[in-house]
Amino acid sequence: MSSLILDLLLVIALLWSALRSLMTQDLFQAVVLFIVFGLLMALVWARLHAPDIALAEAAIGAGLTGALLLDTVGYLRKKQQESFP
């Protein structure tokens, strides 16, 4: 029973973070929500008995891609400040 509740919560949180990440206007918020989505996805893979994919998702999907996207947001902000001081 408790595992069913955990699964349901995970599914709701996953869908919510995916939707919010796509719908939000703020790029920084979208990236943070994308990282949250990746970490939740890793938990879902672990629940589905696929620990290998969970490890890869957490390390590459959430970690490295998140770092790259955050770097991009910082770069874009700097560009924006230079053109509209």
Partner 1 sequence: MRSLLNVLVIVLSAALGLVLIGVILESPSPARVRLSEEVLMQIGASGVTHPVTAVLLNFRGYDTLLEVMVLLLALLGVLAQMGKQKRENPPAGFYLTEPRMQVLLWLARVLVPLMVLVAGYLLWAGGHQPGGAFQAGAVLAAAGVLLNLSGLLPSWMEPAWNLRAGLVSGLLVFLLIAAAVMMTASPGLLLQYPPASAGMLILLVETGLTLSLGLILAGLFLFLSGDAIDDEADK
Residues near partner 1 (CB under 8 A): 51-52, 54-56, 59-60, 63-64, 67-68, 71, 74-75, 78
Distance in Å, CB of 71 to partner 1, minimum: 5
Which runs of consecutive H residues, i.e. helices, occur in 1-85? Answer: 2-23, 27-47, 51-56, 65-83
Distance in Å, CB of 35 to partner 1, minimum: 13
CB of 7 or CB of 75, closer to partner 1? 75
In angstroms, the CA 85 to CA 70 distance is 22
